[in-house]
Amino acid sequence: MTGEFQRYLRAKRTVDDRALDRRLVETLRTELAARAASADGPLRVLELGAGIGTMVTRCLDWEMVPEGHVQYTAVDLSEESIATLPGHVREWADDRGHTVTDDRTNGRLTVETGRTRVEVDAVVAEGVEYAREANAEADLVMGVALLDLIERTELPTILGAVADGGLYYFPITVDGGTRFNPAHPADRGVERLYHAHMDRKAGGSSRAGGEVLALLQSQPGVSVAAAGSDWIVKPVDGAYPADEAVLLRHILRTVESAVTEVTDGEFDSLAEWLTTRRQQVDDAELVYHTHQLDLFGQVVDSATAQNDGHD
């Protein structure tokens, strides 16, 4: 595993696993299987902001993708994450006895689980531009924990990569709540400044989940289903599960740099707040909770969905 951010993405796998709404996962599984049954060729999945590929492995672990042949394109802006993806997938496959082959001519990774053969193309690219250039041929377009980082007005472009009758899935979309417990007097100030930092980044929003839901509901040519997928990270029997302390330490570093940047280092309570929170992680006492939404639906008519409905 390479950098600190990639270790964070790996550590968040178990937290996402708990949070993802199972009703939507089940609907996605059923709809994809129906689509695969009526398709001529392989099922085509496009994931934007794919990070180190934890959704690739989850799709196989949870049998979200159907039996047979799947072509999976994993796109991310980060060269380091895309460089980490093959090793991450390989390690996961080795643990389960699945076969992985590498095609050195095109960098394609093929995973055989016995049930499903997935060909993974990992691509360094900006997601919206990639979707804009792609033909509307994906059976499924996904973005996990992504839409708070991308201009919401680009949603029609992303949906434009979905084939007629295909699906979209945008789970773990931040929706305006960050809570730390036990309570600390600086909590409200920290949360307000942390969210202000998300909001001022280009395309960023601390309330992306609700904004995307509203956009999808007004979008012609798409259906939409939504459910909560809050993260709750807490100690169990005196310790954090798996690598979740790594996630908490990363979140505290992110809060530190966000609040420092947004206040020019002038938020006096920050240092003491961070010291307290870091000690609570070391002592397995901190509970962290964020509110998020999972969004899922069908693109009934791709050409219509590329239109924002306001022309």
**What is the C-alpha separation between 226 and 209, in angstroms, rounded?**
9
Q: Output 31 or 148, the one with its CB closest to ligand SAM.
A: 148
**What is the C-alpha separation between 155 and 307, in angstroms, rounded?**
10
**Smallest separation, CB 11 to ligand SAM (Å):** 10
Give the DSSP H or E segment for 194. helix 187-200
Q: Output 145 or 222, the one with its CB closest to ligand SAM.
A: 145
**What is the C-alpha separation between 303 and 102, in angstroms, rounded?**
36
Q: Output 3 or 114, the one with its CB closest to ligand SAM.
A: 3
Amino acid at 138: A
And the tokens for 266? Answer: 């002038």
Q: What would the x/- binding string for ligand SAM be over residues 43 to 72, using CB under 6 A?
A: -----xxxx--x------------------
- 71, 119 contact by CB (below 8 A): yes
**What is the C-alpha separation between 271 and 200, in angstroms, rounded?**
23
Using CB under 6 A, pick the residue from 149, 163, 216, 295 that binds ligand SAM.
Answer: 149
Using CB under 6 A, pick the residue from 20, 150, 193, 281 that binds ligand SAM.
Answer: 150
Q: Output 24 or 48, the one with its CB closest to ligand SAM.
A: 48
Q: Output 170 or 180, the one with its CB closest to ligand SAM.
A: 170
- Phi/psi of residue 293, nearest 5 degrees: -125, 145
Q: Pick the piece of the chain touching ligand SAM (CB under 6 A) from 139-147, 240-248, 267-275, 296-304.
A: 139-147
**Smallest separation, CB 156 to ligand SAM (Å):** 15
- 225, 170 contact by CB (below 8 A): no
Amino acid at 230: D
Question: By CB under 6 A, is residue 209 in contact with ligand SAM?
Answer: no
Q: Output 36 or 89, the one with its CB closest to ligand SAM.
A: 89
Q: Output 71 or 81, the one with its CB closest to ligand SAM.
A: 81
The strand pair at 99-103 and 138-142 is best described as: unpaired
Residues 74-93 that bind ligand SAM (CB under 6 A): 75-78, 81
Q: Does 182 sit behind a cis peptide bond, omega within 30 degrees of 0 on the bond before it?
A: yes
The strand pair at 43-48 and 68-76 is best described as: parallel
Helices and strands (DSSP H and E) totals, the chain: 12, 10
Using CB under 6 A, pick the residue from 32, 60, 140, 146 that binds ligand SAM.
Answer: 146
Residues in contact with ligand SAM, counted by CB under 6 A, come to a total of: 18
Summarize as ranges the residues that interact with ligand SAM (CB under 6 A): 9, 48-51, 54, 75-78, 81, 126-127, 144-146, 149-150
